[in-house]
Structure 1
Amino acid sequence: MMSRARWIPATLFGRTLLTLLVSFTLFGCVTFWVIVTYALTPVAQRSASDLANIMVLSARTLHQLPEEMRDDYCARLRRDYQIMLREERPSTDPSHFFFPYLRKVTQALEERLGRPVDIVSSLDSEDRWFWVALDGRAGNIWVGFPRSRVQTRPIEGLSMIVAVALMLIIVSALLIAGRITQPLNRLAKAAEQVALGYSPKTLSESGPTELVNLARQFNVTSRRIRELIANRTLLLAGISHDLRTPLTRLRLAVEMLPQNTSAELVSRMERDIDEMNALITQAIDFGKSLGPGQREEVDLNTVISDLVAGRARVIWRAGQPCRARVDVIALRRIIGNLLENALRYSQELVEVQLDCRRGRSIVQVLDRGPGIPAAEREAVFRPYYRLEGSRSRLTGGTGLGLAVAYQLALANQLELRLDARRGGGSVASVRLPPLTPERDPTVIGGQAVDDPPAGA
């Protein structure tokens, strides 16, 4: 599968903005070329030709006038036509300037005179002037016109067009993307609620046809999920009731066996009945709603101390108060399942550690068992999944402990992680959210990590 190009934005607004920007840019370039080619260029050429004719005619007329009329003639030219005539060469200004119209005037003068001309520039306190030397009877006559005579400002005009275009593009992208992203954001939040075990409100089925169909399908799917969960719970409850009745009769029958019945046979039958009863109990627990519960602020040291009390082979040292806002019942079930899993598959000591130094509390259960391969760390959270060689029916496990812990962690926005422990074994970590609300995705799996400083 080809990866997305780095220059393509990830958000819908960014992609809409990029699409509009490219479209408007292409349209603007074509429009600009059409206007320049079919409107501005012909007008500029005609204007430059008229200006060149006036300049040449003014210089020739000046020599045909009597001396006493020349000053008045020059004054009227400057007042009415913004053209100046002078005999001495103007002081030139070599600084750079941008005036594309000057090229058209040069071409018109060259066509009118039949020879190359050189236009120089001078700068006074009011405006920039452009001068050309024309042949007269007594020598060259310098004819000039100011920059202000041509009322064009290409840089300012282009800047204004670009600014207005960018503003229109951004506003259009906001309007277009906003109308699409708002329903999609509501849909994404509702889907997240479903993933966390909540039952979201019915989405509004309004707007464009595509979004209406999407919202309608989501509402139908969400309703079917709620119905499936309710039916599953009801089904498991019925199975539990139907199975426990004959199990109770079997237990009574075992107790009423004759005295000469083999004690080993009776013990084996009682173990089978207990195992079946445990399987049914855990299956019912998993089938129940594992959604979020009521959160309250507690000291994690107290919760962990209550859990490890009376358990053999568990090392736990309470430290400074470490407060968190969690569903205590769910947290007790998660840590309890992790402890039972560690004690079941490890014959050595199991450590429980609490780390409150990084802004978010982390509870870790460390064992020296056979460990879990990296490729299996996601699969062990599936119901009834068992690792070959390290999990067997003889250990008493049902394959539901980690699945229940994962579902509870997911519903309560806790991060449940399994890592390899240095020296052998596993590290099961439960990362709790801080006292202030924060969204954080659940992470499963991971690489080998160092043991925390407090243990191992």
Structure 2
Amino acid sequence: MNRLFLRFFILVMLSISVAAFIVYFTIDRLFGDPLENIARNQAAAQIFLLEQYVDQAPADGWLDRLNKVREVSEVRFDLVPLAAVREHLSTADRVAFDRGEVVIDLADRSLYRRVDLAGDRYIGSDEEAIHAQNLPIDIKVALQMEAVRYLIVALALLVPIGFWSHSHWRGLLQLMHVADEFGAGHLKARAEMKPGDSIYPLAERINHMAGRIETLLDSQRGLLHSVSHEIRTPIARLEFAFELLHDTADDVLLQKRIGSMQGDLTELKSLVNELLGMARLDSDQPLRYETFDLTEALRSCANSLPPATVSLDVSVPDGMGTYYGDCRLLMRATGNLLRNAQKYANGKVALSALRKLGGVTITVDDDGPGIPEEERDKVFEPFYRLDRSRDRNTGGFGLGLSIAGKAVSLHGGSLKIETSPLGGARFTINLPPA
């Protein structure tokens, strides 16, 4: 945010500078060089003496008056050839000089003017020019005046712009805070601004958008939670009915079909439980923070896994210390990763943990087919599966990794996927210091 207004400040200063140069060159084109006009005003006394005293003398007294001016003036007046002056002057100044005008040389603090255009002053006066040196010209004062004028204009513009930008800055900071809060899951966050604030219309639209999103998410969660709970009752009834049918059926083929239907019902029950778990994670219910032993919790999580044909290597060191968080939620995330690894591993799954700088790193490796790099972000989306088949051979509903990612995110951690040294996928949980 500070960078934004710093750039704005620099842009304003550059705009003022560019405007000052444009004004200078515009005046130069229309009315002549402002600095030359200032120099001409500073040399006005010498020009006045030349034009109103020396030039007004009779033809035979012109040189006498010039000599009298030389005696009383600190300015040095010399007569020089026209050719030398023309070589010294620029093209524009040479044209003015040939017309008989006074030409100012700022660099040398001098002026040039032809003695006469028609040779009336004295014989040969049309071939000579007056060169006045050491004129009382001081451009530094003029430049200082221009600098002061520029500074006053800049301050006059920047002070109100600063107050105006400060009000915008405070409003934008508040909107940033609301956006961070809303993004962190606090859906009640709103921007509180007065109608007179400069970005009040923007804040009102953001508040309206936030309210609409909150309403839609609440409706979605409520529907998901209600439907999941309502489905549990008929599922329980069907389980009881299938148990009775299975016990009373004499036909082996019928018992096999009933067992298959029981498997489908168990899968449906697991899906409902997963949906309820997702609904709880998306709700505003606070985490159940507690202090728990990391080593014991991770080993217990590994021991609670269902039997599998792959081997599980647990490398959780003793004395990892305690961690303050929702133990049930974190271990569920770790368990989901382990079950996912068991599902796709060819023969080996490894669980390891490390504590460094107060944080915790939990790693799950497998020797399965791995996850393509372009799919690694998508697997955390609900119901997304790399294996598009939905039969019980592969199992799962595409919710396990999503739940794990949400559980870790709620603790301020991260869950990333890499290539495992075993050849398959590596899931790494990074938890911040508690």
Instruction: Please give the TM-score of this superposition, normalised by the length of structure 2.
Output: 0.71
Query: Match for 1:201 among 185, 189, 209?
Result: 189
Give 1:343 deviation, angstroms: 2.0
Return 219-228 or 275-284, whichever deviates more: 219-228
Could you say what secondary structure the match of 1:385 adopts? Answer: coil
Question: CA 1:314/1:161 → structure 2, altered by over 3 Å: closer, same or farther?
Answer: farther
Q: Displacement of 1:384 after TM fit?
A: 0.9
Unaligned runs of 5+ in 2: 55-62, 78-103, 117-124
- The answer as to whether partners of 2:408 and 2:431 remain within 8 angstroms in 1 is no
Query: Alpha-carbon deviation of 1:427?
Result: 0.9
Between the two structures, name the one with larger relative contact order (CA 8 Å, sep ≥ 6).
Answer: 1
Give runs of aligned pairs for residues 16-415 of structure 1, distance below 5 A: 16-33=8-25, 38=31, 41-52=36-47, 54=49, 83=74, 102-103=106-107, 106-108=110-112, 115=128, 132=133, 144=134, 150=138, 152-157=140-145, 159-160=147-148, 174-206=162-194, 211-257=199-245, 258-262=248-252, 263-290=255-282, 293=287, 300-311=294-305, 313-319=312-318, 321=320, 326-357=325-356, 360-388=359-387, 392-415=391-414
Matched position secondary structure for 2:189 = coil
User: Is this contact kept in 2: 1:305–1:318, CA < 8 A?
Assistant: no
What is the aligned partner in structure 2 of residue 426 from structure 1? 425
Which one-letter code corresponds to 1:318 in the other structure? P
Partner of 2:121: none
Q: Report deviation, 1:85.
A: 8.0
2:315–2:353 Cα contact (<8 Å) kept: no
Secondary structure of the 1:370 match is coil
Alignment coverage as a number of residue pairs: 377
Change (3 A) 1:317 1:26: same
State, as a whole percentage, how many aligned pairs show the same letter: 23
RMSD: 4.1
Amino acid at match of 2:110: T
Deviations 1:335-372 (A, max 9, x none): 22222221222243322222334674322211112211
Partner of 1:428, secondary structure, is strand
**What's the CA shift for 1:428?**
0.8
Closer, same or farther in 2 for the Cα pair 1:369/1:25, shift >3 Å?
A: same
1:72-116 deviations in Å (ceiling 9; x for gaps): x96xx6xxxxx3789xxxxxxxxxxxxx97358523466699745
Q: Which moved more, 1:408-417 or 1:301-310?
A: 301-310
Whether the aligned pair in 1 keeps the contact of 2:379 and 2:402 (CA below 8 Å) is: yes
Give the AA of the match of 2:250. N
In 2, Cα distance between the equivalents of 1:428 and 1:239? 32
Q: Counterparts of 1:20 and 1:165 in 2: how far apart (Å)?
A: 12
Contact 2:287 2:326 in 1 (8 A): yes
Give the Cα–Cα distance (whole angstroms) in 2 for the partners of residues 283 and 43 of structure 1: 85
Q: Distance in 2 between matches of 1:27 and 1:279?
A: 69
Q: What residue identity is the alignment partner of 1:287?
A: A
Letter paired with 1:213? P
Give the match's secondary structure for 1:394: coil
Secondary structure of the 2:185 match is coil
Aligned residue identity for 1:306:
S
1:108-132 Cα offsets, whole Å, 9 max, x none, are 466699745677xxxxxxxxxxxx4
Q: Report which stretch shifted further, 381-390 or 36-45.
A: 36-45
Instruction: Supply the distance in 2 between the matched residues of 1:395 and 1:116 (Cα, whole angstroms).
Output: 107
Q: Give the AA of the match of 2:40.
A: Q
The residue matched to 1:366 in structure 2 has which SS?
strand
Counterpart amino acid of 1:345?
Y
- The change in CA–CA distance for 1:297 and 1:153 in structure 2 (over 3 A counts) is farther
Query: Any unmatched runs of 5+ in structure 1?
Result: 1-8, 78-82, 87-99, 120-131, 133-143, 436-456
Cα shift readout 1:267-306 (whole Å, capped 9, x = no counterpart): 3232222111111111121123435625566654444233
1:425 deviation in Å?
0.8
The structure whose residues are more often helix, as a share, is: 2
Alpha-carbon distance change, 378 to 168 in structure 1, aligned in 2, over 3 angstroms: farther
Change (3 A) 1:190 1:297: farther
